[in-house]
Amino acid sequence: MPWVLVSAATERSGPDQSERATHLPEAYQTALLEAGGIPLAMPGTVSRPVIAACVDACDGVLLTGGEDVDPRIYGPKLRPELRRKVTTTPDGGRRDYREMVLIAETLRQRKPLLAICRGQQVLNVALGGTLWADLPTQLPTALNHRRMDMRREIVHEVRLTPGSILAKITGRLTLGVNSTHHQAVRRVAPPLRVTAASPDGIVEGLEWKAGAGEPVPFVVSVQFHPERLVDRYPEHQAIFRAFVQACVLSRNLRL
C-alpha cells in the first residue's frame, strides 16, 4: 500500500486557543484508506530540507481544503471591504509557504499530486496563477458556491473537458459536485489547463498541461470536495482510486 503525504490544516487549540494543532478531517483519511492508500499527516514545518525529506519518504501528496490563500501572495493589495471577506490561516501564513514549497518539491521529485479546494487554489498560485478573492463581491452574477449547509450533497454540475484525466477517471463529461468555497482560480497558471468548469465559468478542475515542461506522472486538482461524496458516488471515489494507483506506480518505479 502506498504512503500518501497529506498537507493538513492548522487550527488554534488549547484552553485559551493559544496553541496550534494539525487538523486532518477523517473524510480524507477514509477516502484514501478505502482507495488503498495510507495517509500520513505533513508536520507543521517550513523547513525546506524537512519538507523534501517528507516528500521523498512518501509515494504521493494530497493538498486539502481550509482557509483562504493570503492574497498578498498572488495579487495587489485588496480594497478594505474585500480584504474583510478573506480568512487566512491562523499561523501567520506558514501553511501557505509550506504548501508552496511542498508543491515545488513534489514536482521536482515527480510524485503524484492531488489537490482539493484550497489545494487547487494554492497549486494555481504556486505555479504563477491568480485567484478571485471573494466570488460574491467580485462576480456577483456567479452561482452560490459557498453551500456550507449542503457540504455533503450535490449542489450543481460541472462540465469536464473531453480527454482530460478527470473525464477518463469518472467516465463522464458532466459531474455533480458539492461546493463550499468563496475563492476560485482567476488566471490559470501557465503549466496548467482547465479540465472542469461550472455553468457560470468558474474553474472547477485543473491538470498538468501537455508540453508544459517535463511531463509529470499525475497532477490533478478539483475545487469541490470528493472526499465528502465517496460513500454515495462511485465517480468521486474513482478520483481517489486513480490517485492512489498513480502512487502505486510511483512507488514501483523507485523500487
Count of CB atoms situated within 10 Å of the CB of 49: 8
User: Any idea what the Cα angle at residue 69 is, between residues 185 and 27, rounded to 5°?
Assistant: 85
Instruction: Indicate if the pLDDT at residue 212 is higher than 90.
Output: no
How much is the average pLDDT of 174-190? 97
Which pLDDT belongs to residue 230?
97
Alpha helices in 36-154 (DSSP H): 48-57, 80-83, 94-108, 118-126, 135-138
Which pLDDT belongs to residue 68?
93
pLDDT band, very low/low/confident/very high, at 107 (cuts 50, 70, 90)? very high
Torsion of CA 186, 192, 198, 201, to 10 degrees: 40
What would the pLDDT profile of 36-61 be if each residue is shown by its tens digit?
999 999 999 999 999 999 999 999 99
Instruction: Indicate if the pLDDT at residue 149 is higher than 90.
Output: yes
Closest CA to 110 of 166, 55, 164, 62: 55
CATH of the domain at 23: 3.40.50.880
Residues forming the active site: 117, 225, 227
3-state secondary structure of 68: coil
H or E element that contains 3: strand 3-7
Counting the structural domains of the chain, the total is 1
* Full residue range of the structural domain in which residue 247 is found: 3-254
Which pLDDT belongs to residue 75?
79
Which pLDDT belongs to residue 9?
81
* Rounded Cα–Cα distance for residues 192 and 219 (Å): 9
pLDDT band, very low/low/confident/very high, at 128 (cuts 50, 70, 90)? very high
Which pLDDT belongs to residue 179?
96
And the C-alpha cell for 53? Answer: 525529506
3-state secondary structure of 159: strand
How much is the average pLDDT of 224-228? 98
Instruction: Indicate if the pLDDT at residue 146 is higher than 70.
Output: yes
Q: What is the DSSP letter of 227?
A: G
How much is the average pLDDT of 60-88? 89
